[in-house]
Amino acid sequence: MSDPKWRIVHSEASLGWGGQERRVMAELLGFRARGHTVGLLAPARATIFSEATRHGLARATVAEKRWAFPFEVVRTARWLRAFRADVVNTHSSRDGWIVGLAARLARTPLVIRSRHFDVPVANPALSRHVYATLADHLITTSPKVAADFRALFQLSADRVSAIPTGVDVEKFSPEGAKASFEFTAEAGGPLVGIIGVIRHAKGHTVLFEAMKQLADQGFPVRCVVVGDSPNRGALERRVVELGLSKRVLFAGERDDVPAILRALDVLAIPSLHEAIPQVGLQALATRTPVVASDVGGIPSIIRPGETGRLCAPDDAASLAAALREALSDKATTQAMCERGRVLLEREHTVEMMLDRLEEIYRRYLR
């Protein structure tokens, strides 16, 4: 007997378009492709709201103004009842409260809270209500974060799951077009990439300092920065201060990430804290060499000596050494890339992610 078709709603208060928001959209589109009915709750000016509109998804807005909070809870509860939601999955702080309360008011059968980052919870006593009272189940993207939250909120093991973001293995294939980037003629050397929203925790400045050290050692590299944010100006000024203007290219937001990964000699993930970064899994899928910080859930996919290389977080010298080794020892690096693709196909495809989520839904909605 086949599973019933559920009515699934995700909410996301973030206005940006990073890994978290892309994961939400991947789940929505993936479950729609499986025959379920899906919908989104988000601010009208959020990028994910525009994406939902582009894909023809059912959607409703969540107001950003704080004074609207109680009205939003009631209005959202009415929308959820009209939608007849079986599952509600919240993703950020604001929608965790508004939509979590609304789902309880609407008596939604299953409420899930997702946690995408490996950062401390600011107010555990208050946040407990979002992760436990207003949610039946917590989903994290890495086993480490899952263990931390079980301990922090004293949740039973069956109420917390670690489900990393799945990768479309056909889209992120090693074979295919490669992106091209125009550097000045004198800017030679291997191409390093960093992909993601520009913010302090992603470690861009650590990478630039590592590049400076490599140049001083007579091992210059080029770097393409993919992603954007209001903080980009400060980062560009730091590049100038380090004398790297000709070697660092800011490419902004790009939709051709598979082609970019195939063009790189190595992907750098110098994060200061992280769960399991989607771009790390995508790099494994395209057989792109990876050097990443030894933090959070990264070691569960970038396994030292097996699928990539790790460096100490916030340590430019350690990052520089790992980059140089990855770019110099090509045979070992290539072997790691081959094993990385095997790991990805075995454990982290998008279909596997959807299967694991369906198992959770099935358990609560029998």
| Entry field: residues in the chain | 366
What DSSP string describes 10-38? Answer: EE----S-SHHHHHHHHHHHHHHHTT-EE
Residues of the chain with pLDDT under 70: 1-3
Burial class (CB in 10 A: 0-12, 13-18, 19+), 297: buried
Q: Coil, strand, or helix at residue 326? A: helix
Quick one: which of 140, 95, 90, 89 has its CA closest to 119? 140
Q: Which CATH superfamily is domain 7-166+349-364 in?
A: Glycogen Phosphorylase B; (3.40.50.2000)
**Angle ∠(311,277,140) on CA atoms, nearest 5:** 120
Provide the residue type at 14 as one letter.
S
Both structure tokens of 175: 């074979």
Instruction: Return left, alpha or beta for 76; rule: phi > 0 is left, psi -120 to 50 is alpha, else beta.
Output: alpha
pLDDT given for residue 271 in this prediction: 96
191-347 has the same fold as 7-166+349-364? yes
What was the pLDDT predicted at 2? 61
**Domain chopping of the chain, boundaries:** 7-166+349-364, 191-347
pLDDT value of position 188: 85
- How many other CB atoms sit within 10 Å of the CB of residue 160? 21
The candidate with the shortest Cα–Cα distance to 82, out of 106, 52, 115, is 106
**Strand, coil or helix: 101:** helix
Domain 191-347's class?
alpha beta
Kindly report, residue by residue over 49-63, the tens digit of the pLDDT: 999 999 999 999 998
Task: Give this prediction's pTM.
Answer: 0.89
